[in-house]
Amino acid sequence: MLGNELLRERIPPLKEMSLRDWRQALTTPPMYRVGNSTLRIQTHFVCLIAAVGLFVLIVWYAMSPPSRSHRSYLYSEHYDMLPLSNVITPKSVIDSYNATYPLTPPVRSAFGITYRIGVISDLDTDSKSTSESSTWVSYFKKGHLTWDRVHGSASFKWDASEPTRLTSTLGQGKRGMELSELIVFNGKLYAPDDRTGIVYEIDGTKAIPWVLLTNGDGRRVKGFKSEWAAVKDNKLYVGGLGKEWTTSTGELVDFDPMWIKQIHPTGQVSHHDWKTNYEKLRRSVGIEFPGYMIHESAVWSNIHKKWFFLPRKMSKEIYHEDKDPYHGTNLLLTTDENFSNIDVVSVGEAIRTHGFSSFKFIPGTEDDRPK
């Protein structure tokens, strides 16, 4: 065999070897011939190379970016649009929050405190432009509100200029730009579209798409029907109708409108099931499914540490689209953040064809409310 032949080449015949030759043969590492080259196995050197290689692999693995399944997303936790792991976001940007509110400093005078305010339109199917292809329109109208703290009264005046025309080419089901709310968040002005689920930043004459909210738990192909928005703990909360989605005659379809969306200042979205919370709100006035309560306005008060809801409609009867327009309310519901203690008061007289679609506390009034 090759091994025996090599050994015979290395070691002289037994009878010709002296004691010194034997010692030399036993202490010298064996030599193997491969082709025309010779490789001597040196155990300590090989172990050193293996250890260095293992160390390099461990360091490389520790410093490599996280796997796809664990990264956070800028636009939606379920939409692979722009992962935060690929975005260089300084820690100062993540930690900082612009709490400026109102955006325009109020003016004090002998008549009271004057605030700059605005409203935005939800034209439903009329938002489709009649002169531009694949374009939808909303209008942003501004004015001034003066609060007389001495007499506890307010006056209002619109700007003389025409409303700002806002357009978008983004729609769903041939509808879009049905902006249901206007809110200041992180030093900017935002408006959610209750048709597409897009939250727009309103910047002058531009409506800039910011994030996309999808229905229910976020794993739906349909846009979230956003109806109200509030700021709590430096995050933007966007909610829907707060009732079960049903057919036109009240048959249950799903619970998607009973989810809410929580948006971080960076744009990261999380989805939260508020079904139990909404049920507690309507139960406080004796309503159980198939009865319903529809929400389009809610505010979180940092002063009171409570939620305030002004429901738009409610009924102890099953939903029916022909009867629904006559179920307007005049109730204000107040609850702690756990929805464990709910207070109910009336605001004025109920007008069954009218309901609340939005409200804000006047800054500087300590978030006072009707008693």
Known binding-site residue numbers for Ca(2+)? 180-181, 227, 296, 357
Annotated binding site: 180-181, 227, 296, 357
Write the single-letter amino acid at 312.
R
HSE-up of 180 (CA within 13 Å, CB side)?
28
Contact 255, 275 (CB under 8 A): yes
3-state secondary structure the chain: CHHHHHHHHHCCCHHHCCHHHHHHHHHCCCCEEECCEEECCCHHHHHHHHHHHHHHHHHHHHHCCCCHHHCCECCECCECCCEHHHCCCCHHHHHCCCCCCCCCCCEEECCEEEEEEEEECCCHHHHECCCCCCCEEEEEEEEEEEEECCCCEEEEEECCCCCEEEEECCCECCECCCECCCEEECCEEEEEECCCCEEEEEECCEEEEEEECECCCCCCCCECCCCEEEEECCEEEEECCCCCEECCCCCEEECHHHEEEEECCCCCEEEEECHHHHHHHHHCCCCCCCCEEEEEEEEEECCCCEEEEEEEEEECCCCCCCCHHHCECCEEEEEECCCCCEEEEECCCCCCCCCCCCCCCCCCCCCCCCC
